[in-house]
């Protein structure tokens, strides 16, 4: 349960259909991966509580459909968000082109100036099918001044880091991405809920 003391942080995922937005969200929220493809027809939001030495933190994750039809309403959502993850599939060049030609420009045009942006190449576990070189994507992230990671929702690689980075928690002295000495101090997920909103 969210308490009135919990600090709330919100983030949103954007990117083409099929890049792994739902899978990455599920991996962060539940720690699980489901290889079936279940289309997201609307924006879904999930939450996760982190019980940290600095108090309870409530992270709300919005998983969008990826269809451009929802673009205009998604921009309203961004106004009170802390971060946005722009996702492409490293095994599908056209999804990276969409980031360059569409998603980055759109988010930077409509987002509040302090929204933290993280560029993410997903499905790195499929290394033999890679079509987007890490260095090319890193260069794009430098040009736009955004953070960059490669992830796998399947293996879990870098998933926690991306979500903590997007809400500016990565590097705090309790974060669970490697800097915590005492496991008791690790943030613990408390609850999961799903909601579907037709926007
Ligand atoms: N191998 C692999 N498959 C993935 C990964 N992430 C997602 N997928 C698969 O890609 C397909 C589309 O994923 P989904 O999360 O529904 O994409 P979305 O449309 O962006 O939400 C599904 O079959 C997933 O199981 C990953 O990191 N590795
Ligand atoms: Mg989806």
Q: What is the pLDDT along the chain (199 residues), one digit of tens a residue?
A: 555 678 899 999 999 999 999 999 999 999 888 877 777 666 678 889 888 887 889 999 998 877 765 555 567 778 889 999 999 999 999 999 999 999 999 898 888 989 999 999 999 999 999 999 999 999 999 999 999 999 999 999 999 999 999 998 887 766 755 433 333 444 444 443 444 333 3
Do the domain assignments include residue 131?
A: yes
CATH number of the domain at 104, please. Answer: 3.40.50.300
Question: Which residue lies with its CA nearest to atom 12 of ligand 1?
Answer: 18
Burial of 110 per CB tally in 10 Å (0-12, 13-18, 19+): middle
- Over the stretch 100-110, which tens digit does the pLDDT of each residue have? 999 999 898 88
Do the domain assignments include residue 190?
A: no
Yes or no: say if 119 and 146 are a contact pair by the CB < 8 Å rule: yes
Task: Report angle CA 115, 117, 120 to the nearest 5 degrees.
Answer: 160
Confidence at residue 196, expressed as pLDDT on a 0 to 100 scale:
34
- Residue-number span of the structural domain to which 123 is assigned: 7-184
Tokens of 18: 């099929």
Ligand 1 pocket mutation pick from 153, 156, 194 by most atoms within 8 angstroms of CB = 153
- What 3-state class would DSSP assign to 25? helix
Q: How many domains does the chain fold into?
A: 1
Do the domain assignments include residue 192?
A: no
Ligand 1 pocket mutation pick from 13, 18, 85 by most atoms within 8 angstroms of CB = 18
Nearest CA to 159 out of 55, 59, 54, 70 is that of 59
- What 3-state class would DSSP assign to 71? helix
Question: What is the rounded CA–CA span in Å between residue 160 and residue 175?
Answer: 9
Helix, strand, coil share (%) of the chain residues, nearest 5: 35, 25, 40
- Over the stretch 87-98, which tens digit does the pLDDT of each residue have? 999 999 999 999
Do the domain assignments include residue 36?
A: yes
Question: What is the rounded CA–CA span in Å between residue 191 and residue 161?
Answer: 20
Do the domain assignments include residue 78?
A: yes
Do the domain assignments include residue 2?
A: no
- Based on its alpha-carbon atoms, the radius of gyration of the chain, rounded to whole angstroms, reads 16
Question: What is the rounded CA–CA span in Å between residue 14 and residue 72?
Answer: 13
Q: Please give the DSSP secondary-structure letter assigned to residue 82.
A: S
Q: Is 144 in the pocket of ligand 1 (CB under 6 A)?
A: no
Question: Which residue lies with its CA nearest to atom 6 of ligand 1?
Answer: 20
């Amino acid at each position: 349960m969210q308490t009135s003391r919990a600090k709330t942080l919100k983030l949103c995922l954007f990117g083409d259909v099929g890049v792994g937005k739902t899978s990455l969200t599920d991996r962060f929220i539940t720690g699980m991966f489901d290889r079936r493809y279940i289309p997201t027809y609307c924006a879904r939001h999930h939450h996760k509580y982190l019980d940290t030495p600095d108090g309870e933190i409530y992270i709300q994750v919005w998983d969008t459909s990826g269809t451009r039809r929802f673009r205009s309403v998604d921009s309203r959502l961004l106004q009170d968000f802390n971060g946005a993850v722009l996702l492409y599939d490293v095994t599908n060049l056209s999804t990276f082109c969409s980031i360059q030609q569409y998603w980055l420009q759109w988010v930077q045009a409509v987002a509040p100036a302090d929204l933290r942006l993280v560029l993410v190449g997903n499905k790195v576990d499929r290394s033999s099918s890679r079509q987007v070189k890490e260095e090319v994507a890193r260069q794009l992230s430098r040009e736009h001044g955004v953070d960059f990671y490669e992830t796998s929702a399947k293996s879990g690689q870098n998933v926690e880091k991306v979500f903590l980075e997007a809400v500016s928690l990565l590097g705090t002295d309790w974060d669970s991405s490697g800097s915590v000495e005492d496991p008791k101090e690790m943030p613990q997920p408390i609850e999961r809920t799903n909601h579907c909103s037709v926007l």
